[in-house]
Amino acid sequence: MKVITGGVCAAKGFKAYGVHCGIRKNRTKRDLALIVSDKRATAAAVYTTNLVKGAPLTVTKEHISDGYAQAVICNSGNANTCNANGIEIACQMSELVSKTTGVKAEDVVVASTGVIGQPLDITPIESGLPQLVNGLSYEGSGEAAEAIMTTDTIKKEVAVEFQIGGKVCKIGGIAKGSGMIHPNMATMLVFITTDTAISSKMLQKALSGDIQNTFNMLSIDGDTSTNDMVTVLANGLAENEEICDEGEDFNTFMKALNTVTVTLCRMIAGDGEGATKLLECKVSGAEDLNTAKTVAKSVVCSSLLKAAMFGADANWGRVLCAIGYSGADVDVNKIDVSFVSNKGEILVCKDGAGVEFSEEKAKEILLEKEIEIKVSLGEGEYCSTAWGCDLTYDYVKINGDYRT
């Protein structure tokens, strides 16, 4: 397994690009992205669990119901949610892609992100598509990654190379996500491409299984978006023997997929709205996996703990508090808590009680950009990891006037 460059264009046969078409007022920001495979690909997707869903999700679900797709179009600046003509606009977007690329409209994944409840005008998308299509290239992942950003401050893209049956395969992805991120299913918008030959059934199995320990373990602010979606397209151009069932090849693919998704999770968590720190809660010693996941999620979702991490305050009582109301059946008298960063590790709680520690050393550790909250439950062999970020003044500033 080797990390490589290229994002969604790392895999053979995928082109991408992003432009500013006029959805967003700021002309310096791209707002329309397109990813196209040279050939029809097997496809899989997972969607937000929010009862209110953006129209693009409904259209996408219908389009890939046969297990195939060939292109992804995504606009930023407007979520196309809670609009009377939302389905119509989403369908028009796929038809415009078909008209300009030759890809069948029913093979287009449609996605939108931005303000909820604001009508989306098809005009700028229609006028911007020719430029977008003309710009498509096998090196265009970066531009596409920029075009799907909203309050994100950094592009999020990653790719890895691996081998299946002696054939070199590649998988890469881009993501947007900074706010309205909370399990389940906290997926923001993530587009993954691979040249691995894998059936749509096994691709869906891989994705559905992976998100349980990646995107569903990620929380920024406790709000689950209406437009969250993860899609994977696999065009088979690596020419490995198609993966049609479980086994060594499937496990290798799962490992590669997980490398991509975990990297994107960490990028998203570290770039949470107003965030200054990436928080990673690692829980060990649980009696079962569900307990480990429940505890890890509860800790990274705690607003009080997130605020303490912003202030570099080793207030470990907030960790125990979050575990206590998580609903997990644990023995509080066996819990150990440590804070870890590049500056070292410090034990702050042993067997559910405080221990003497240096506040100065703790402060030094918690001033770093990446903080690990290590929790040992002392009852079993199961473990889990969840990701989040600190809660800052800027989070309120960003969301206080997000629409206006």
User: Would you please indicate which residues are annotated as catalytic (active-site) residues?
Assistant: 187
Nearest Cα neighbor of 287 from 322, 328, 326 is 328
Burial annotation 372-397 (CB, 10 A radius, 16+ → b, else e) = bbbbbbbbeebbbbbbbbbbbeebee
DSSP single-letter state for residue 240: P
- Cβ neighbours of residue 305 closer than 8 Å, sequence gap 6 or more: 299, 315, 318, 319, 322, 373
- Cβ neighbours of residue 128 closer than 8 Å, sequence gap 6 or more: 19, 20, 21, 22, 32
Nearest Cα neighbor of 38 from 154, 195, 229 is 195
Q: Distance (Å, rounded) from C-alpha 155 to C-alpha 391?
A: 21
- Give just the sign of the alpha carbon dihedral 271, 272, 277, 279: negative
- Cβ neighbours of residue 300 closer than 8 Å, sequence gap 6 or more: 219, 279, 281, 306, 373, 386, 387, 388
18 touches 146 (CB < 8 A): yes
Neighbours of 73 (CB within 10 A): 25
Distance from first CA to last CA of the chain, Å, rounded? 45
Phi, psi of 316 (to 5 degrees): -65, -20
Which residue type, as a one-letter code, is found at position 106? Answer: E
Tell me whether residue 276 is exposed, middle or buried, using C-beta atoms within 10 angstroms of its C-beta: 0 to 12, 13 to 18, 19 or more.
Answer: middle
CA angle 180, 185, 186 (to 5 degrees): 35
Which pair of structure tokens corresponds to residue 339? Answer: 């804070």
Beta partners for 233? 43, 193
